[in-house]
C-alpha cells in the first residue's frame, strides 16, 4: 500500500501541495482529480522522488527505496518518446531502466502490441507512428514490467473511445493482479468507470476523499430524474424544486432539489396515485460535484 502523510511542497511562496494525506491500497484504483494547477502532478513527482518535499511517502509502511521505485510504472502527462528509436528498441530501453533484461521483456512485446492494437511494427521508428499509436507505445513502456505501483497522469488524453476502453481494460487487469493504481483525469466518466476511491484537490489541499459512493452521498440525493407527461410548468411549481432541465429523451426531465427530504412529497404530488414511467432520486454525478467543488472560493 502507498501511504501519503502530510505531504507539503512549496515553490517560492506558493504551496503547490498543502498537508495532503491519502492512501492507495494494493489492488485498488484511486482517481486524483482537480483543476489544472491543483497539485496533482506535483503529488506524482513527489511520490517518484523527483522533488524534495515535507511529510512522508511510504510503501508497505517503509520509505520508498530505489529498488521499489523500479517497481513503479509512470506515464507523464507530457509524452516523451524518442522519435528516432524503433518501437522494440524503445520498450527495451525503458524496461532496462527499471531493472529488467531484454531476455525478460522481448518475448512479451508482441502480445502487448496486440493487446493495445498498435498499428505498426516493432521495427518501425516512433516518429513513423500516429500520435495515438505513439501514446499506446508509451503506455506499454509504463506497464510491461508489471509494476506494483502505477501512476498515470491524464492517460486518456487524446484517446478515442475504442482506445480509451483498451486502456481501461488494461488498468483493470493490472488492478486484478494486485497493483496499486493512481491516476488523474479531467473526464469524470473515466474516473467513475474504473475508480474505487477518489481524492479531489483544490489549491493543493484535499477537499474530497473517499469511495465514489461516499463522496456522492455527502451531497444528498438532490437530483431527481422523472419521465412524465406533465408539462414543464407543473414540474417547476413542485415543492423543493429549484430548477428543471429537459433531457434529450422525450418527456424526461432532471429536477434539481433544494432538500433531498422533499422527494416523497414530490412523488405524491407528481403521481397522485397514478403510474409514472420513471422516478429516480440520486445524488449528484461526479461531474456535477467536480464543478461545484472546483468553483468554491473562485466566484
Answer CATH for 223-282 from 1.10.10, 3.90.25, 3.30.70, 2.40.50: 3.30.70
Burial grade of 87 (CB within 10 A; 0-12, 13-18, 19 or more): buried
Contacts of 277 (CB under 8 A, 6+ apart): 227, 228, 251
Q: What is the pTM of this model?
A: 0.86
For residues 187-194, give the mean pLDDT: 90
Percent of all residues in the chain with a pLDDT value above 90, rounded to a whole number: 73
Q: Which residue from 247, 246, 214 is spatially nearest to 232, judged by alpha carbons?
A: 246
pLDDT for the residue numbered 220: 92
Q: Which residue from 56, 27, 21 is spatially nearest to 206, judged by alpha carbons?
A: 21
pLDDT for the residue numbered 150: 96
pLDDT for the residue numbered 124: 94
pLDDT at 296 over 80: no
Burial grade of 59 (CB within 10 A; 0-12, 13-18, 19 or more): buried
pLDDT for the residue numbered 160: 86
pLDDT at 94 over 90: yes
CA distances for 274 relative to 84, 265, 270, 278, angstroms:
69, 14, 9, 12
Q: 1-52, pLDDT tens digit by residue?
A: 899 999 999 998 889 999 999 999 999 999 999 998 899 999 999 999 999 9
Categorize the per-residue pLDDT at 244 as very low, low, confident or very high, splitting at 50, 70 and 90.
very high
Number of H helices, E strands in the chain: 12, 14
Which sequence spans correspond to the domains of the chain?
A: 2-217, 223-282
For residues 290-299, give the mean pLDDT: 71
d(C-alpha 287, C-alpha 206), whole Å: 17
pLDDT at 79 over 50: yes
Categorize the per-residue pLDDT at 272 as very low, low, confident or very high, splitting at 50, 70 and 90.
confident
Among the residue ranges 234-238, 260-264, 288-292, the one predicted with the least confidence is: 288-292
d(C-alpha 210, C-alpha 253), whole Å: 29
Bridge partners of residue 151, in order along the sequence: 74, 182
Domain 2-217, architecture per CATH: 3-Layer(aba) Sandwich (3.40)
What is the crossing angle of helices 87-97 and 131-143, to 10°?
Answer: 30
pLDDT for the residue numbered 74: 94
d(C-alpha 115, C-alpha 217), whole Å: 37
Amino acid at each position: 500500500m502507498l501511504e501519503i502523510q502530510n505531504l507539503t511542497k512549496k515553490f517560492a511562496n506558493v504551496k503547490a501541495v498543502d498537508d495532503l494525506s491519502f492512501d492507495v491500497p494494493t489492488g485498488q484504483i484511486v482517481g486524483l482529480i482537480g483543476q489544472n494547477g491543483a497539485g496533482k502532478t506535483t503529488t506524482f513527482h513527489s511520490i517518484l522522488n523527483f522533488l524534495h518535499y515535507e511529510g512522508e511517502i511510504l510503501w508497505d509502511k517503509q520509505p520508498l527505496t530505489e529498488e521499489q521505485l523500479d517497481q513503479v510504472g509512470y506515464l507523464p502527462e507530457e509524452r516523451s518518446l524518442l522519435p528516432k528509436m524503433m518501437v522494440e528498441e524503445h520498450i527495451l530501453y525503458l524496461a532496462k531502466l527499471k531493472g529488467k533484461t531484454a531476455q525478460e521483456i522481448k518475448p512479451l512485446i508482441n502480445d502487448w502490441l496486440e493487446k493495445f492494437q498498435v498499428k505498426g511494427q516493432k521495427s518501425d521508428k516512433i516518429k513513423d507512428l500516429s500520435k495515438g499509436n505513439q501514446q499506446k507505445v508509451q503506455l506499454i513502456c509504463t506497464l510491461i514490467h508489471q509494476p506494483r505501483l502505477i501512476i498515470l497522469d491524464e492517460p486518456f488524453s487524446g484517446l478515442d473511445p475504442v482506445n480509451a476502453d483498451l486502456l481501461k481494460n488494461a488498468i483493470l487487469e493490472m488492478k486484478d493482479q494486485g497493483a496499486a493504481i493512481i491516476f488523474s483525469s479531467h473526464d469524470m466518466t473515466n474516473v467513475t468507470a474504473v475508480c474505487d476511491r477518489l481524492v479531489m484537490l483544490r489549491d493543493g489541499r484535499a477537499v474530497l476523499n473517499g469511495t465514489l459512493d461516499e463522496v456522492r452521498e455527502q451531497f444528498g440525493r438532490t437530483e431527481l430524474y422523472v419521465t412524465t407527461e406533465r408539462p414543464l410548468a407543473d414540474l417547476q411549481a413542485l415543492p423543493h424544486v429549484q430548477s428543471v432541465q429537459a433531457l434529450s429523451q422525450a418527456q424526461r426531465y432532471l429536477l434539481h432539489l433544494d432538500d433531498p427530504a422533499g422527494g416523497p412529497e414530490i412523488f405524491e404530488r407528481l403521481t397522485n396515485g397514478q403510474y409514472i414511467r420513471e422516478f429516480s432520486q440520486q445524488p449528484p454525478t461526479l461531474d456535477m460535484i467536480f464543478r461545484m467543488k472546483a468553483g468554491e472560493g473562485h466566484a
